[in-house]
Amino acid sequence: MWNKAQNNTKSISFTNEYNIKCYVKICKNCNKITKNKPTKEMQIISNCMQRILNCSCGLTFVEDLI
């Protein structure tokens, strides 16, 4: 489950209004930021919590929570 979601995850970086570089993870299939429903799958890696989201296209991808 995690492998499929990780393989379908794409990171997009941008600079916010305070000139701080940020990133967001999106579904590779849709290639856009949409409202997604989270699953109950979560994990902690180092100091980052991650969860799997169900995309509107039917695939899953990973979101980082801070």
The CA distances from residue 63 to 27, 56, 57, in Å, are: 10, 15, 16
- The pLDDT of residue 43: 94
Burial 28-65 (b: 16+ CB within 10 A, else e): eebeeeeebeeeeeeeeeeeeebebbebeeebbbbbee
Residues 1-11 have a mean pLDDT of 94
Residues 10-21 have a mean pLDDT of 94
- The answer to whether residue 51 scores a pLDDT higher than 90 is yes
- The pLDDT of residue 44: 94
Residues 6-31 have a mean pLDDT of 93
Q: Which amino acid belongs to residue 27?
A: C
- The pLDDT of residue 66: 75
- The pLDDT of residue 11: 93
